Structure 1
Amino acid sequence: MADQEVLLTREFNAPRELVFKVWTEAEHFGKWWGPKGFTLEVSKMDARPGGMFLGCQKSPDGMSMWGKFVYREVIKPEKLVFVQSFSDEQGNTIRAPFNPNWPLEIINILTFEEADGKTTVTFSGGPINASEEEMAAFNAMKPMVKQGFAGTFEQLDQYLASQQ
């Protein structure tokens, strides 16, 4: 999967326990996740293997998109593995509204490492069970996906600063 994934590493000026907490608790996650200017309403967040996150993002112009994570691994405070998909309000997997060939499932693997009170988050992710058309759509959008996550991590950085 290495050539088909997005890989980002970012250091945050916060302890690992706090960084992990804001990734796994609804009252924190909804305040920083997503593109700049978007809001996130968390409908459900059960960060345990087999558990699910379900939420609705709203763009500045009012467009709504539902999404879900199904957690595979939750090793506090070291690692999170989840499969991310677009969904309806009930959590049923649907096609992305912006591209009919977008992969239905993307696996995300996050590791959290602490040194000197700072936490390095390594994020990798890519399509699973994807067709050739879905892989092509993902690869074409990889630069935008990376840019989107960089912005999300910027919001996380600001949020963490407000929590200390």
Structure 2
Amino acid sequence: MTTSRIERTYAATPERLWQLWTTAEGIESWWSPDGFTVEVGKLDLQPGGELIYTMTATAPEQVAFMEGAGLPLSTESRKTFVDVDEPGRLAYTSLADFIPGVDPYDFLTVVGIEPVEAGTRVTMTMDAMHDEEWTQRLLMGRTNEMDNLGRVVGG
């Protein structure tokens, strides 16, 4: 299985970035791609614990895309934590159960957080999804999220 990788360096401490990745307030401040909002419903930060959140399209362009693709404007997403090693590593599976005509499946994301001279390097590695189109959508969404994270921490 192929993976995609995104890497960014932020002018923030590993502890600050860990907090943004692992608290409801932190997640809600940056997690959603542009044009969407996120509301955390459950966060149990331990291996086997779940993150459950609702992502809602709010901007006209995203609303039109979702409607045109036959997707609901709001989707509940579930992630199950596999590895929680504060503040250096977070791994979780995501349940892809919202794609019309595709049986639900899990895919893995691993986040590495490490101090570097310029701040903190965050590396996100994601399993490929069921086809190239959805893998590219995932990569574009996660790239946008990482950009949003940079706006929150100012770096």
TM-score interval w.r.t. the shorter chain?
0.7 to 0.9
Aligned residues: 143
Q: 2:136 aligns with which of 143, 146, 158?
A: 143
Aligned mates of 1:102, 1:82 — CA distance in 2: 20
- 8 Å CA contact retained: 2:32, 2:55: yes
> What is the deviation of 1:149?
1.1
Instruction: Show CA shifts across 1:103-151 (max 9, x none).
Output: 6101011111111351111111115xxxxxx63x2x2332322221111
Runs of 4+ more than 4 Å apart: none
- Larger CA deviation: 117-126 vs 67-76: 117-126
> What is the deviation of 1:100?
2.5
Give the structure-2-normalised TM-score.
Answer: 0.83
Within 5 Å, give how 1:125-136 maps onto structure 2.
125-126=126-127, 135=130
The runs of 5 or more residues in structure 2 that have no matched partner are 64-71
Within 5 Å, give how 1:102-141 maps onto structure 2.
104-116=105-117, 118-126=119-127, 135=130, 137=131, 139-141=132-134
Give the structure-1-normalised TM-score.
Answer: 0.79
> What is the deviation of 1:75?
0.2
Please tell me whether residue 44 in structure 1 is matched to residue 42 in structure 2. Answer: yes
- 8 Å CA contact retained: 2:93, 2:108: yes
The runs of 5 or more residues in structure 1 that have no matched partner are 87-94, 128-133
Counterpart position of 1:81: 91
CA separation of 1:84/1:106 partners in 2, compared to 1, >3 Å: closer, same or farther? Answer: same
